[in-house]
Structure 1
């Protein structure tokens, strides 16, 4: 039987998985954007494609004193044969980097409890499968407890005012921006992320590691809740943009997934339209947009 490092693909209930075991069913949803949810209390990694869960694996996260940070991340770098520059050249196969400070998804030993220095260790075979379907910009949500994504369709485009001609205009805008799976950070197609903070009443736009724009957040005045939305693309039937919505902190005060609660002025909505592309992510938070929440080319970490 395969050991906890190599891993073993099994058919059993998720809560019955033993260290090193995982499920992998990519046929359940062959196409669409991938998102990953790491549940610290379960010590599980859930993989979704186009909103459908296609895999679950056991994992080992940070031990006491080296806790894995919680929040919303994107894959910044991929390296199939990575070695640690911090821990004695230790091998980290199938590495998906989440921060330039050393947090990543990679293969490693799984003793059945949190034991890493902050990374998320995975079974080797599972990490190899995962490596094949992630790309730069794939969102990774690390939370105290996991939550399944919901599908949300916004009646208008992003934060703009809806009109009868808007849908066709959006299609024309997004069509040349379809994201190839082999983007690199310096390509002409940057990874776009937006963060809306009710605390600061602002929305910021990030491209890769840089803030490129900032505008006013207009909303209903209630807590936004800790949600992240991944833009899939147009929904022809409902004439709007389809998003995948995930709650990234199940312990925080909750609010329903509802993109119609937020908007901005038309001038900034036009700016958002210029930077939008399928696969971009939009984060809601009730915390301040403090510079300490981002560093270097990391995305954003919000506990």
Structure 2
């Protein structure tokens, strides 16, 4: 799972050091941590392979940045959209000689995770994302099952978007009130208790297949025709914050996870579905749901509900 041996979890670069620096000036093992900048709201983690940095956003505000180490040549860390599937504070690798992997947030069942590890200043893991020990412990306290983790070539800050999306066909008051009544009793994953079992919903729009697919955890529960302008969609992920009553629309946080997909991230008006699909979709909607736009096909090689939402 990406890091044989921590070579002793001791004070210093491996343990990590909280510093007050610009992001580009961080040295291996250094990180910034300012959760007070946004105490509440949904969390998202963006790992930038080019920068070897992990950015943490809460409610669209960046609250932390850390140096990291991703996969080395031959063991590259996959890019795409993932959700945290499992958390284990004292995990050990089943693949690499029982190596300790503290504060593990699992992203795939076949071995990709965020965890504490050695940070030499360049990609050096077997595919995982290594973090400073102290930073990984702080992050472990904030993440939850279903937290989106976007692994991308480079970082892009989230954009706040208010738009009906697929959930509403428009901004009509009566329709908004109907959806609001179904959303209110459904919790965001950050509010789940450990013993709670709730499905995590992801919607994927694929321009290649001209299809929409709805996943609940590892199950495909709904599929329908995608209605869009016929142009490439790019690579974007939207996290549903909840309803925006002032605008009578849905409140989303949008992130681009591919350099080629820059621009147009906030334009959800390009995609839609038929009324029958929209009506069925509403039973699966919850705050924290992901809506992913991609130009990749909906093939298991690129998408698996059990492992990841979409892998590029």
TM-score band by shorter chain is over 0.9
The aligned counterpart of 1:53 is 62
Describe the SS at the equivalent of 1:234. Answer: strand
Q: More deviation in 149-158 or 40-49?
A: 149-158
- 1:1-303 equivalent positions in 2, closer than 5 A: 2-155=11-164, 158-181=167-190, 183=192, 187-252=196-261, 254-295=263-304, 297-303=306-312
Describe the SS at the equivalent of 2:287. Answer: coil
Is the contact made by 1:157 and 1:240 (CA closer than 8 Å) also made in structure 2? no
Is the contact made by 1:7 and 1:123 (CA closer than 8 Å) also made in structure 2? yes
Describe the SS at the equivalent of 2:311. Answer: coil
Instruction: Give deviations 1:105-160, integer Å, cap 9, x for gaps.
Output: 00001011111000000001100111111111100000111111100101466253
Residue 278 of structure 1 and its aligned partner are, at CA, apart by 0.2
- Unmatched 5+ stretches in structure 2: 1-9
Measured on the aligned residues, the alpha-carbon RMSD in Å equals 1.9
TM-score by length of 2: 0.92
TM-score by length of 1: 0.95
Is the contact made by 1:156 and 1:166 (CA closer than 8 Å) also made in structure 2? no
Residue 162 of structure 1 and its aligned partner are, at CA, apart by 3.7
Q: 1:186 to 1:91 in 2, by over 3 A?
A: same
Instruction: Give deviations 1:25-84, integer Å, cap 9, x for gaps.
Output: 000000000001000010000000000000000000001110000000000000010000
Query: 1-side partners of 2:270 and 2:285: how far apart?
Result: 19
Instruction: Give deviations 1:75-113, integer Å, cap 9, x for gaps.
Output: 000001000000000000000000001000000010111
Is the contact made by 1:78 and 1:94 (CA closer than 8 Å) also made in structure 2? yes
Is the contact made by 1:160 and 1:270 (CA closer than 8 Å) also made in structure 2? no
Is the contact made by 1:159 and 1:264 (CA closer than 8 Å) also made in structure 2? no
Residue 199 of structure 1 and its aligned partner are, at CA, apart by 1.1
Query: 2-side partners of 1:54 and 1:100: how far apart?
Result: 28
- Unmatched 5+ stretches in structure 1: none
Q: More deviation in 287-296 or 67-76?
A: 287-296
